[in-house]
Structure 1
């Protein structure tokens, strides 16, 4: 039986489906939702705006709010609670770095930017990277 599950989320339907699955398939597990905000770089458009903020941590938390609001809605519909964590950096690396704190990871097969070829080329497929490198079991939900 799994007691601690990590569900990385962005604002995609696949991520919401992953959270739904985790909550329904593991009713006794503690579920943590992780949202990773990209760090500023020349190649990551949205993250560059963080550099203009006075407090990058506050700006990252603000960007995570819609994702966490959705996560809480999904959990509330199932009479469950979720813990939320916001982090900054590369999504796959952040997920893998936290993986050992959990019994399993449940994530969506594609993020919100999956249709943009440049995003896939520059950032790579998070689900694929996590499934290959995670030290704990990974469930990928479509």
Structure 2
């Protein structure tokens, strides 16, 4: 059995580059694309608030579309890919999933956000690389 490789995927250009790299370089390995549903992007509705529930539902529907996009790329390459989604702070979701699932390597785009949001929120790739003890390849 090959390696277990995790690719955080948010449908950004850098995430596509990371996924395509994995599909090229690790086609025979066990590949998983993970989408982190960031509660900070659900809006400011309080839990139980109808507005909060609406944003959460929209986030889950968007996540389904993002996972379908990753699967479509893998299908183009003819490579088997598992897709998952987890809610939480993206760097925490990625590192926890890696720990819980015996991931051997993470391949991540250099950044999914751009401009001010990236500066304010920091780089998920950088946080992941600092938090895990497995190899992290940063693409882009």
TM-score bracket for this pair, using the shorter chain length? 0.7 to 0.9
TM-score (normalised: structure 2):
0.84
- Deviation (angstroms), 1:98: 1.6
Shift of 1:65: 2.1
Q: Give the gaps of 5 or more residues in structure 1.
A: none
Q: CA deviation at 1:80?
A: 1.1
Cα RMSD (Å): 2.1
Please say if residues 5 and 30 of structure 1, whose CA atoms lie closer than 8 Å, have aligned partners that are also in contact.
yes
Residue correspondence of structure 1 range 1-142 to structure 2 within 5 A:
2-39=2-39, 44=40, 46-48=41-43, 52=51, 53=53, 56=56, 59-100=58-99, 101=101, 102-111=103-112, 113-115=113-115, 117=116, 119-142=117-140
- Please, what TM-score do these two structures have when normalized by structure 1? 0.83
Matched-pair contact (CA < 8 Å) for 1:11–1:66? no
Describe the SS at the equivalent of 2:10. Answer: coil
Distance 1:47 1:71 in 2: 22
Gaps of 5+ in 2: none
Query: What SS does structure 2 have at the residue aligned with 1:33?
Result: strand
1:59, distance to aligned residue in structure 2 (A): 4.2
Deviant stretches of 4+, over 4 Å: none
